[in-house]
């Protein structure tokens, strides 16, 4: 993230309006074919995995009407995971920690999970792809990642969904490491990017790390400021830095709540490691239920989903809604 400094009698810069439309607690899936895939987490009351459930253990309802479940990918089925690392200028002092944490996360995954590593600054780069069995190669690719350029967070998030996950089936998750501030996106906005994420079947787990302290340390010494002048640090888009961080946090929280993932904030390496461990554990709790809706009207309306299992004391957490918008042939 490139930060510019106004040192002479800066006129009040109005806050860019922060995304005012609050993301609903109900998660959304866009369906472009008639098959609907619903990620569903199943645990006991102590948050321990309930494994080996079969299709006959589940019942699924859409808008109160029971649907026929076509298939179930069980909790042991592998995930395809995109690890998306912010390597823009603002992360320069954090990059070593980010790399170490990313490698630690890979070691928490299961051997058959597939991982693609992406980095982004003002553009998105696919670094490598393979299974966790290829850990040495993936680690080397991460180790050679370099920082540079502004931050195209909205574009990067959307490109991973559109260009990578769109051609992949099964269980999918994206883990994003970033401070959350976008300064360079040209094709996507906050709102459009969040909407696209809500319409996908990708679980998104953002981990926000703090870079504002490093940026504020760049402010000039008092003796360098002309008498009577005020100082305000703004982003390359002219947004005051504190407001930009609030916007970034809201963006990342919107991604997680809208896709069924979870948001994490990590200000230390220890917290990063804890976040990775929690994500890896949670991914092992998801089933993927697939069905063809009885209502085939592609009206673009929100439909409510309910999932139950015939296991005592089970806690079931499916994505709660989706939008049916079947692609035209």
Query: Which 8-state DSSP code applies to residue 56?
Result: G
Residues 6 or more apart from 63 whose CB is under 8 A from it?
295, 303, 304
> How far is the C-alpha of 284 from the C-alpha of 73, rounded, in Å?
12
- Name 41's bridge partners: 286, 317
Q: Name the 3-class secondary structure at 139.
A: helix
Q: Give the sheet arrangement for strand 36-43, strand by strand.
A: 69-73, 286-291, 36-43, 315-318
Q: How confident is the model at residue 25 (pLDDT cuts 50, 70, 90)?
A: very low
> How far is the C-alpha of 261 from the C-alpha of 284, rounded, in Å?
13
Give the model's pLDDT for residue 147.
Answer: 61
Q: Which residue has the higher pLDDT, 249 or 95?
A: 249
Classify the C-alpha dihedral 15-21-23-25 as positive or negative. positive
Q: Which residue has the higher pLDDT, 110 or 33?
A: 110
Mean pLDDT to the nearest integer, 52-74: 95
Mean pLDDT to the nearest integer, 300-325: 85
Question: Exposure of 26 by Cβ count < 10 A (0-12 exposed, 13-18 middle, 19+ buried)?
Answer: middle
Q: How confident is the model at residue 215 (pLDDT cuts 50, 70, 90)?
A: low
Q: Does 145 score more than 80 pLDDT?
A: no
Give the model's pLDDT for residue 167.
Answer: 85
Give the model's pLDDT for residue 91.
Answer: 67
Token code pair at residue 164: 């990578």
Residue the block writes with tokens 């340390």: 217
Cβ atoms of 89 and 147 within 8 Å: the answer is: yes
Give residue-wise pLDDT tens across range 73-124: 988 889 999 999 888 876 667 777 777 777 788 888 888 899 999 989 888 9
Mean pLDDT to the nearest integer, 202-213: 83
Q: Name the 3-class secondary structure at 122.
A: coil
Give the model's pLDDT for residue 107.
Answer: 82
Concatenated DSSP letters of 224-263: GSPTT---EEEETTS-BHHHHHHHHHHHHHHHHHHHT---
Q: Name the 3-class secondary structure at 30.
A: strand
Residues 6 or more apart from 147 whose CB is under 8 A from it?
87, 88, 89, 91, 92, 95, 121
Q: Does 274 score more than 90 pLDDT?
A: no
> How far is the C-alpha of 280 from the C-alpha of 102, rounded, in Å?
12
Strand 124-131 to 114-120 pairing? antiparallel
> How far is the C-alpha of 319 from the C-alpha of 29, rounded, in Å?
8
Q: Does 205 score more than 60 pLDDT?
A: yes
Give the model's pLDDT for residue 87.
Answer: 84
This prediction's pTM: 0.77
Token code pair at residue 202: 């990708």
Residue the block writes with tokens 């051997």: 111
Strand 302-309 to 321-324 pairing? antiparallel
Q: Does 39 score more than 80 pLDDT?
A: yes
Per residue, the 3-state secondary structure of 55-91, as one string, reads HHHEEEEECCEEECEEEEECCCCCEEEEEEEECCHHH
> Torsion angle of alpha carbons 314, 318, 320, 324, nearest 10°?
-140
Q: How confident is the model at residue 157 (pLDDT cuts 50, 70, 90)?
A: very high
């Amino acid at each position: 993230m490139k930060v510019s400094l106004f040192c002479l009698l800066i006129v009040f810069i109005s806050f860019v309006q922060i995304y005012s439309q609050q993301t609903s607690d109900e998660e959304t899936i866009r369906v472009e074919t008639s098959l609907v895939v619903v990620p569903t987490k199943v645990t006991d009351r102590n948050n321990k995995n309930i494994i080996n459930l079969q299709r006959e253990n589940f019942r699924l309802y859409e808008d109160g009407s029971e649907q026929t479940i076509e298939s179930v990918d069980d909790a042991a089925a592998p995930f395809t995971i995109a690890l998306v690392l912010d390597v823009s200028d603002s992360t320069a002092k954090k990059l070593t920690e980010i790399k170490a944490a990313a490698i630690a996360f890979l070691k928490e995954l299961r051997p058959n999970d597939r991982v693609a590593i992406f980095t982004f600054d003002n553009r998105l780069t696919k670094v490598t792809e393979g299974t966790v069995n290829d850990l040495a190669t993936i680690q080397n690719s991460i180790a050679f990642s370099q920082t540079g350029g502004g931050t195209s967070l909205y574009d990067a998030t959307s490109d991973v969904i559109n260009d990578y996950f769109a051609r992949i089936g099964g269980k999918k998750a994206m883990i994003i490491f970033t401070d959350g501030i976008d300064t360079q996106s040209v094709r996507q906005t906050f709102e459009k990017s969040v909407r696209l994420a809500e319409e996908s079947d990708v679980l998104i787990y953002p981990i926000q790390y703090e870079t504002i302290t490093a940026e504020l340390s760049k402010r000039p010494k008092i003796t360098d400021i002309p008498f009577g002048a005020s100082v305000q640090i703004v982003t390359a888009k002219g947004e005051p830095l504190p407001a930009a961080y609030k916007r970034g946090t809201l963006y990342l929280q919107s991604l997680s709540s809208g896709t069924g993932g979870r948001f994490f904030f990590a200000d230390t390496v220890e917290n990063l490691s804890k976040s990775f461990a929690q994500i890896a554990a949670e991914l092992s709790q998801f089933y993927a239920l697939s069905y063809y809706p009885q209502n085939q009207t592609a009206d673009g309306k929100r439909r409510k989903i309910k999932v139950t299992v015939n296991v005592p004391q089970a806690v079931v957490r499916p994505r709660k809604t989706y939008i049916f918008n079947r692609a035209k042939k």
